[in-house]
Amino acid sequence: MKQYINHLDDLLAHTKNGRKETLFQHSQKTLFYFQKLEKEKHLNPIIKQTISRITFKEDYLNETVKEYIYNMFVQAIYLHDIGKINPNFQLKKLKNKIVQGFNYYDTNHSMLSAVVYLDLFWWEIENLNLSRKEIFILRYFAFSFSYCISRHHSQLLNVIGNDKEEKTYINEIENFYDKLRDHPELLRYYKHTKRILDQFPLEKIRNTQKKVYGYLSEFTVFVLNKLCYSSIVSCDFFATQSFMANQDVDIFSLKKEDKVSLFNCYAETSVYQSIQRYKNNKSSFSGDPINKLRSDLFIEADENLQNNLNNHLFFLEAPTGSGKTNTSINLALSLLNNDNTLQKMIYVFPFNTLIEQTKNTLVGIYPQELQKKYPISVINSIEPIINKTKEKQIDETVDYENELLKYQTIQYPFILTSHVNLFNHFFGTNREANLGLVHLSNSVIVLDEIQSYKNELWPAIAELLSEFAHCLNLKIIIMSATLPRIDEFLPDEKHFINLIKNRDYYFNHPLFKERVRLNFELLHLPREELFDRFCEFIDEQGSKRYLFEFIYRSVARDFYDKFCEKYPDKLVVELTGDDNNFYRKEMIDQLNSETKNSFTLKDIIVVATQVIEAGVDIDMDIGFKDISLFDSEEQFLGRINRSCKREGLAYFFNYSDASVLYKKDARLEHDLMKPEYQQALVEKNFKPLYEMAFEWLRPNRNDNLYSQFKALRYKDVETSMRLIDQITVTIYLPYKLKTKDKVIDGEKLWKDYKYLIWDNQLSYAEKKIKLSQKQVEISYFTYTLYLKPGEIPLYSDECIGNIYYISSGSRYMKKDKNTGYYKFDRNKYEQDSGSEFF
């Protein structure tokens, strides 16, 4: 920087309480943290591996070009704030008295940084002894990296336009260049002011991006640029926090001895020990066939993993009740131990209930003392960033800035999060999402139930998981009971490793295949006769644990009311998306309550929607389900006779049209109305069904999506890769909620929440953490509305973010006579609001 900037030692980057940090010091500190990441997180080979995977017209780049791209990548981090040479930024933002006689009021530094970076590298590249093609390629990366610099205080948008009307990065450069020509004093401290003003290559930049981007390997270039942006914002955050706190920021990394300790602790569990005994003595489970079968699956998956440790992607296909969670923990810990570069273990789920269950499993494995050293951290919209009990223990010594930074950069050894959150790191555009991306590298990721999301994304998900895994050195285990082999969309050499070679041995084993007997006799029964038939079954079977699943909440509520009226002496429970987190947890806890190895609630009717299909660990005797998708049917069966200790029965019926809910899903054509699909479900043979869906997906390849990656249209990619399309908002209904320990006043909670939001005395970090600590209780009073594009709730008193507060919310809470808890009366709300919500 000293070669290009005048008065560099007098220019500032930050000030705090009289302390000053020069621009040079901040740039050096940013580079220091990048080098620390390279050392602690093994980042150097990550970046170089990604660059080495780039092709131009399907040819790989030569070593000189690759090395220069790496150099520009590092320099983008180092020079990201060089635009703070803007005299007005020095004068207005930092009160730097070196600046005199300056009257132009633009304090922008990010765009100035990008333009200076482009100017520095454009002419250097021009003088390299390379072919014109190679020079064009390097210019393109100077252009794309400069964009990352320009957005390091905002979010990523679209780099290359889709039409002439769209404002893109080249337009931003043009507009800023006009400012520079009108106000050359913005470049007062840059030694090449004349070169920028007289020779800035606007037209060549435009031609370069047009000529090059269409021939580069789209996914790899996208990953590299996301890594660049993530590295810039992450290292900038670390460096800034270091100055503000006046101390170095720690970067978490697992050492070899740490990983050995974690595995050894797991190896001491009774489950692991019993499997090892069985491995050495096959008769040890002679009287326990279900655990013998689970152990066979555990051992086979482990052996296949050990034989393929150099691979990046694995499939674990196993039936419900086969011990997938325990098997996956062993696999993840084995991968950690066998690769010195791997740093953390990340579990990813579609539902918060699955997150909670897996956390409980991990908490049961690791003692409190070990958890203090290796925190098991949940990252979602509900779990607090700092647990309240921990805050009480350390009282006022909480380092909010450091705790928030750890959370944003996922500095934990065990992380449990959602698919939406993971995809936000991969494809999100805001700074906070991208802070964590670089810290995902060198991780073991266990993905559960990825087929839960829209299947038109499956081909792209397969390619992108493969690309991210190879670039970021991720070891990804995809597991499910109804696993679609999404790697079928990839070339044979890129197929994922199947950890269970003979899946039929497990799926067709009587303990799993015959755990639930299936009955299809209700499928052709008229809708109006179904309720009476349900009641006949209940009267015949007597006291049992019954589960009824419907597709839509309104239908579930209708049948719930009918069952309540028909069976006033039975406990009838409703579980739908209209239940808050408190009610749902209370009901599931009661359903799972046992005395002397027997369920406390032996005679109960549960009426539910698909919220119980996955992520809800309940065990029922007899199930009745409205048909939808075939893997949804299998997920439902996982709630019946889960323990394999009784006789399970499941009946399927056809009441509602599933296409309204599962729009554009290729699986809809293959439902249980056809005998061949009934047989497929009985035989647990999902492959032919998925092949039919794949036949539809292959010719419908989303070329528009691929072009978005090619053109670095970050905002469009984020929208296209969004797992859930539904537009939702949240309403807050205050009332007095009685829990086992206390009464929570919803109105007072809302006032406290608002007070925190508007408390300007708190730092951003302290406010963010304290707000997160309110989220659990806030979720007890919130309900989701599904809206049409452009629609907002018509009936609310005030709004904070995406939460709409209704002061008279208690009028929409209806006391459930069976459970004694209050439930959301959606019908009354819709009548009062005048809106129609699905």
At residue 608, the pLDDT reads 93
pLDDT for 531 beyond 80 = yes
At residue 792, the pLDDT reads 66
pLDDT for 389 beyond 70 = no
At residue 836, the pLDDT reads 45
Specify the pTM. Answer: 0.90
At residue 190, the pLDDT reads 95
Q: What number is the average pLDDT over the span 694-700?
A: 67
Long-range contacts of 816-820 (CB under 8 A, 24+ apart): 816/574, 817/564, 818/564, 818/571, 818/572, 818/573, 819/571, 819/573, 819/583, 819/587
Highest mean pLDDT among 200-209, 628-637, 647-656: 647-656
At residue 163, the pLDDT reads 67
DSSP state of 740: S
At residue 644, the pLDDT reads 76
At residue 699, the pLDDT reads 59
- Which of 339-348, 516-525, 647-656, 667-676 is predicted with the least confidence, judged by mean pLDDT? 667-676
At residue 490, the pLDDT reads 79
Highest mean pLDDT among 298-312, 441-455, 475-489, 728-742: 298-312
At residue 394, the pLDDT reads 39
pLDDT for 111 beyond 80 = yes
Q: What number is the average pLDDT over the span 46-75?
A: 96
pLDDT for 679 beyond 50 = yes
At residue 393, the pLDDT reads 39
Task: List for the chain the helix, strand, coil content (%; round to 5).
Answer: 55, 15, 35
pLDDT for 195 beyond 70 = yes
C-alpha 458/C-alpha 546 separation (Å) is 35
pLDDT for 298 beyond 60 = yes
At residue 114, the pLDDT reads 97
pLDDT for 219 beyond 70 = yes
At residue 635, the pLDDT reads 85
Pairing of the two strands 12-16 and 648-653: unpaired
pLDDT in tens, 730-746: 889 999 998 888 899 99
* Confidence bin at 579 (pLDDT 50/70/90): confident
Percentage of the chain modeled with pLDDT above 70? 94
Q: What number is the average pLDDT over the span 90-115?
A: 85
pLDDT in tens, 249-277: 988 888 888 899 999 999 999 999 999 99
Cβ-based neighbour number of residue 614 at 10 Å: 26
- Per-residue buried b or exposed e for 508-535, using 16+ beta carbons within 10 Å of the residue's own CB: ebebbeebbebbbebbeeeeeebeebbe
pLDDT for 396 beyond 90 = no
Domains in the chain, CATH or no CATH each? 8-245 (1.10.3210), 256-502 (3.40.50.300), 510-683 (3.40.50.300), 727-833 (no CATH)
pLDDT for 800 beyond 60 = yes
